[in-house]
Amino acid sequence: MPMYKAPLRDVRFLLNEVFDYPAHYASLPNGEDATPDVVDAILEECGKFCEDVLFPLNQTGDEEGCHFENGEVTTPKGFKEAYDQYVAGGWQGLNYPAEFGGQNLPMSMALLKAEMIGTANWSFGMYPGLSIGCMNTILLHGTEEQKSTYMPPLVEGIWAGTMCLTEPHCGTDLGQVKTKAEDNGDGSYSVTGTKIFISSGDHDLTENIVHIVLARLPDAPAGTRGISLFIIPKFLPSADGGIGERNGVTAGNIEHKMGIKASATCVMNFDGAKAFLIGPPNKGLECMFTFMNTARIGTSIQGIGAAEISYQNSLVYAKERRSMRALSGKKEPNAPADALIHHGDVRRMLLTQKAVAEGGRAMLYYATKMADHMGIAITNGDKESYDHWDDKLGFLTPILKGVLTELGLESANLGMQVFGGHGYISEHGMEQYARDARIATLYEGTTGIQALDLLGRKVLLTTKGKAVRDFTSEIAKFCRDNLANKQMRPFVWELSKIVTQWNYLTVRIMLQARKDRDLVGTAANDFLMYSGYAVLAYFWAQMAAVAFEKLEKGGNDEPAFYQAKIQTAEFYFDRLLPRAKAHADSMLKPTKSLMQMEPEHFHFL
C-alpha cells in the first residue's frame, strides 16, 4: 500500500539552518506572529492533516474521479468532508489580512502548506490552490468594494476561485481570445463565451465559485492589448454578503484525463453572465499575471511533490524487495537475496529522486522569501513594490515551473522503475504518481513556453542578460566565501565554472540571435534546463556547506542526516550536473538542422 510522511525534518533544516527563516520573518511587517514555535506547530498540524486525512483519499479519488450531471460537478467520496476540515482549520486564510478573516502570516507559510498538501493529494490541493491566485488578483487590482465583497468568504474558504483563460481555439496565445464583454450601463458587464481546461471550474466543495475571466470589450484593440479582466461569480453576492441569484455561468462538461482525476477540469460556458471589471479596461493580461505567476509557482510544487512521494515509496520498496546478489558480494547472507537498495542502478534512481525532491524544495524556499515581500505588496496594494519583487522572482519562476516539473516527472517514472512490474499496476500507487505528474509539465504554460519566457523575455528582452549576471553574482559570492574550506572546494570549483559558462552562453546567444532570430526558439529549452541544473547545484552546495559546519561543530544527535546531505550533494555534482554540459553544447548549435526541413517534408508515409 502507498504511504506518505510529511518531510518535516527536511523542512526544518531549510527553514532554520539553510535560509534562516526566523530572522527573515522577524524582518517582515506581517512576520511578528511567525515565531519558530508557531511555524513549527503549524507545520506539524498540516503534516498530520495531510497524512491522516488527505493522503488516504488520494488513491480512492483517482479511482472514482469526478462526476458530471446536468451541469453540476461532484467530487469523489470523502473530498467534501476533507474540505470542510480544511476550512474549519483556517488553512485557506493563513497568509491573508486579518481584516478579511485571515491570520496575516507571511505568504511563504501558504506555500510550505501547499507543498505538503500537494504531495499528499494533488487533486485535492487544486481546489483551494486555484483560490489563491484569485484572491491575490482581487487584493492587488480590485476596488475596495470588490475586496470587501469577495475576500472574506474566499479567505474563509467557503467560496472558491478559478482563472478562466484558455478557449477552444487558443491556448497560450491569449491574443486570440474571443469571449465578449458588453457594458450593461450600470457598472456591470455581460460576458459571453466558452473557456476550456478550467481547473476547479465547478464542484460541490464550496457554496460559491468566483471566476476570474479574460474577455474582450467591443472597442478593444486587437491582440493581447485588447483584453480585459472580469470577476464572474457562479452566484451573485447578496446584499448581506451571502449568495443570491444564479449567474449565467455553467459547466458544459468535465474532461476525461490520464491523471489528477479527482480534480475537476471543466468546459465553462458564459451565457450573458453578469461580470464586474477588475483593473483597467484592456489591461487584463497584465492583471492576470498576478494570477499566473502564483499558479506557476504552485505548479512547480507538483514537481517537488512527485519526486518526494515517489522517493518515499521507492525507498521502502527498495529496502524490502529482494532480488539477486550485489555485484560486490552478499550484503544479507542470511536472506535468499539482497535487497534492491544494494544494487548500484537502483541507488542511482533513488538518489536522483532524493536530489530532485530536496534540491527542488531548497529552490522553492529560496523563492518564497521573495514571495513574502510580494505578499506584503499585494496586501497593501503597492504595485511598485510588487513589480520590484515580481521582477526578481520572475527570473526564477520559469526555472521553478519548467525544470522542477520535468525532473519531478522523471522522478515519478524512476519510482515506477524501482518497483519493476509492480510499478505498472495500480495497487502500489506508483503509476498514479507518474500520471498525475505528467500534467505539471503542460498546464500553466508548457515547458517550451517556460523556456521562451526565461530566455526570450526575462533574459534577452527585459534585462539584456542582467538577470543572469545578478544571479551568478550571488553564486560567485558564495564561492568566494567558501573557497578557504577544503571540504567545499570541489563544489566551489564546479560552481565557479558555472558562473563563467552561464554568462558566456547568455552573451553568445544574444550575439547570434541578432543574425538568426530562430536561435532563441531552438536554444530556449536547453537554456532552461541548463539554468535549472545550475540553480540546483548552487542550492545543493549551500546545503552541503551547512551540513559540513554542523558535523564539524559536533554536539548534534543527527550525524547521519547531515552526512546524507553531503553525500546527496556529491551524487548531484557527479551524476546529474554533467547533464548541463550537454545542454550547453546543444543550445549553441546552428539552427539549420532544426529549421531546414520544409513543413511538407514532415510525413509518415
Known catalytic residues?
A: 444
SS3 state at 211: strand
SS (H, E, C) 88-119: HCCCCCCCCCHHHCCCCCCHHHHHHHHHHHHH
Q: Name the grid cell of 495.
A: 560552481
Packed helices 284-320 and 122-141: angle between N→C axes, nearest 10 degrees: 160
HSE (side-chain half, CA atoms, 13 Å) at 454: 30
HSE (side-chain half, CA atoms, 13 Å) at 49: 25
The 10 Å Cβ neighbour count of residue 22 is 15
Q: Name the grid cell of 88.
A: 474549519
**How big is the CA angle at 408 (ends 402 and 411), to the nearest 5 degrees?**
145
Q: Name the grid cell of 405.
A: 516539473
| Distance of alpha carbon 311 from alpha carbon 424, whole angstroms | 16
| Distance of alpha carbon 47 from alpha carbon 237, whole angstroms | 35
Angstrom CA distances, 277 to 231, 393, 521, 537, 554, stand at 6, 27, 35, 44, 60
Which residue from 343, 263, 258, 351 is spatially nearest to 307, judged by alpha carbons? Answer: 351
Angstrom CA distances, 240 to 195, 244, 245, stand at 30, 9, 13
Angstrom CA distances, 535 to 231, 453, 466, 507, stand at 38, 17, 16, 19
The number of angstroms, rounded, from the C-alpha of 68 to the middle of its chain's C-alpha atoms is 28
User: Hey, what long-range contacts does 244-252 have (CB within 8 A, 24 or more apart)?
Assistant: 247/273, 247/274, 248/272, 248/273, 248/274, 249/211, 249/273, 250/71, 250/202, 251/68, 251/71, 251/72, 251/73, 251/201, 251/202, 252/71, 252/194
| Distance of alpha carbon 111 from alpha carbon 140, whole angstroms | 19
Packed helices 466-482 and 383-419: angle between N→C axes, nearest 10 degrees: 70
Task: Name the strand (E) or helix (H) holding 249.
Answer: strand 249-254
Residue reference for cell 475596495 = 144
| Distance of alpha carbon 477 from alpha carbon 479, whole angstroms | 5
Residue 163: strand pairing partners: 212
The residues, any chain, with a CB within 8 Å of residue 313's CB and separated by 6 or more, are 2, 3, 415, 428, 429, 430, 433
Counting Cβ atoms within 10 Å, is residue 116 exposed (0-12), middle (13-18) or buried (19+)? buried
Angstrom CA distances, 31 to 93, 136, 156, 427, stand at 15, 18, 21, 44
Residues in the chain: 605
Residue type, 28: L
